Structure 1
């Protein structure tokens, strides 16, 4: 026991005692194995980094097996190298299996590159999202209807992958839906999870279309469970709805050809004039116009009116026609503090006359 402890202490404190160093070098297989191991430890992270790492490590340990068998002639060298080679090969098999399982169909792979990668969505999160739609790609033939106005229930959320869909209301065209846009995002956002509703527009495929669809209940369960996915869908749906609003804004034209913006704050006074203030002002203007038309005789009390003579001419008794009210000139914008927006809107109101949004029977007729 004392001799063993003295030997260990000698190895720890004084190092191994080499009686003589080998004059010849190891063979080429030994040096090749170490070079391959050096390259293997330069691998990165991720699945492909793991494939690189264990591929080189397995090859390097295999070279150590050959070196221990032919040159070192050591059974311990062969066994340890063979064990490490087997561990690397098993890890390689596991990584290949994961890579095969994680492989997406072509449509979903392109969708991930278009929407997921710019937002840096993790691949496993994206896979959970597409598992909710059962990884099924649905199709629409040309002129096939996806939803009918007032009939189709809102029970799913769909994303167009290819083709073009026409949106109309009351037979009037509103806008198009293009690939990688939601087909029913306004309807989805208009309802709470416990509410039911039907489409207010008709969606018709103009070309052959393909899309994916999430069932409403399944998607709500997923959004309630995963906060990251819920925030992701909120951002995507909000952007999609804003794009549709801008598309509708491009269709708003006055009949004389001037385009105006629905975001202008004072556009309400042009599209929908108020009836309370406008009615009072119009009555006041009518009274002002009628007062000068009254004769001085009619303005006097009845008891003070003189008796008209029989020989008075008919022209003296007839009331003069009211004079047309002169149009007031617009004051300088610098005095009233108006900006260019209000001036444009006043020009719009002058040209359009009395027509407004309230004069149309429906939104579709106004959008025409």
Structure 2
């Protein structure tokens, strides 16, 4: 390799030139820089060891702010280089803005006491973050309201199934033709069967829901909730799980109301009952043994036409009962007891027939097998 020229710049640096590129080398080294310069680089090194996640990114940008601040002080006070200072100060400002932005997004989200209990009981075990639950319960999608004892949440045959309610405090009672089906307690959905079985929200409630005490609940309109769940796929999956579990609990609560003549219980998983569940839209009335109202006002409705035994239900509704439902409150004389029905015996070859009795002391549908 041939070298054309060697020119000495000073006593420390020599430039070697060849036909293509110059080569710079150092013969002597300066003393280490100021302590601020060393400390700033140590801080920047620590910032690069930040773990993954939002808190790790916040840690990294926070240490970057401190490191570039030290470099800015070093370049302004010790080095006296305005270009060094300008660059380091600009980096510090950018990282400070990013740090504040991250702190705003990961700030703790707090709710009122009722919503906090709902979140801890239902959504926190399913790993729903607080900011996502805050979007779910925001005023853009839901409404928070209260009911006094005896006031109606939904009226049978009148109210539309265009919403979904969640009871936060208090107790509600579900009736069908003056017969208590079951109760709704805190942290339970109010009308999950109707919401799940409905399609467009134009269907009518086949049960009446009244407040059994001072109730505080939150409800979503069907269209706004479906719009939110389309945008948030993870929330939609978790919400369907919670809703399905609530419907299952309500069905098993109704299962306790269904009894044979001998006193044994009827399992809703039996083929004769499960086929009725598939054929009917209102799950509560199907399991409890109360069929849909017939448009021709037929006195009886078959609830199971696939099994060996057919169950007939009397569905006549008095005018006074309809007037009470239209008034929107619970009339005490018609809701004295939690009874469902009593059954009369038939001759051999006939199916048992249940008649509604609002003043009966029995607490279930008794079927003679």
TM-score between the two structures when normalised by the length of structure 1: 0.61
Matches within 5 A, 1:176-191: 176-191=183-198
Superposed displacement of residue 262, structure 1: 3.1
Separation (CA, whole Å) in 2 of partners of 1:172 and 1:8: 103
Separation (CA, whole Å) in 2 of partners of 1:42 and 1:154: 54
**Corresponding residue number in structure 2 for 1:240:** 246
Separation (CA, whole Å) in 1 of partners of 2:134 and 2:17: 58
Matches within 5 A, 1:170-181: 170-181=177-188
More strand by share: 2
**Corresponding residue number in structure 1 for 2:101:** 94
* 1:186-233 CA-partner distances (Å, limit 9, x unpaired): 11223221x622222222233433222111233344456666655544
Superposed displacement of residue 183, structure 1: 0.8
Contact 1:133 1:212 in 2 (8 A): no
C-alpha RMSD of matched pairs (Å): 4.3
Contact 1:65 1:81 in 2 (8 A): yes
Matches within 5 A, 1:1-368: 16-22=25-31, 25-99=32-106, 103=109, 105-106=111-112, 108=115, 111-121=118-128, 126=133, 128-131=135-138, 134=141, 136-193=143-200, 196-222=202-228, 231-254=237-260, 256-265=262-271, 358-362=352-356, 367=364
Contact 2:176 2:208 in 1 (8 A): yes
Q: Which protein has the larger Cα radius of gyration, Structure 1 or Structure 2?
A: 1
Separation (CA, whole Å) in 1 of partners of 2:104 and 2:16: 47
Separation (CA, whole Å) in 2 of partners of 1:74 and 1:90: 25
Separation (CA, whole Å) in 1 of partners of 2:92 and 2:16: 31
Separation (CA, whole Å) in 2 of partners of 1:256 and 1:266: 19
Contact 1:133 1:213 in 2 (8 A): no
SS at match of 1:105: coil
Superposed displacement of residue 46, structure 1: 4.2
SS at match of 1:360: strand
* 1:107-136 CA-partner distances (Å, limit 9, x unpaired): 556544544444344667555544575354
Q: 1:157 to 1:361 in 2, by over 3 A?
A: same
Separation (CA, whole Å) in 2 of partners of 1:210 and 1:57: 48
Give unmatched runs, 5+ long, in structure 2: 275-288, 290-302, 310-343
Give unmatched runs, 5+ long, in structure 1: 279-351
Separation (CA, whole Å) in 2 of partners of 1:192 and 1:154: 9
* 1:127-174 CA-partner distances (Å, limit 9, x unpaired): 554457535422223343212233322221112233332222233322
Superposed displacement of residue 90, structure 1: 1.4
**Corresponding residue number in structure 2 for 1:308:** none
Separation (CA, whole Å) in 2 of partners of 1:115 and 1:235: 10
Superposed displacement of residue 254, structure 1: 4.2
SS at match of 2:173: strand
Superposed displacement of residue 260, structure 1: 4.1
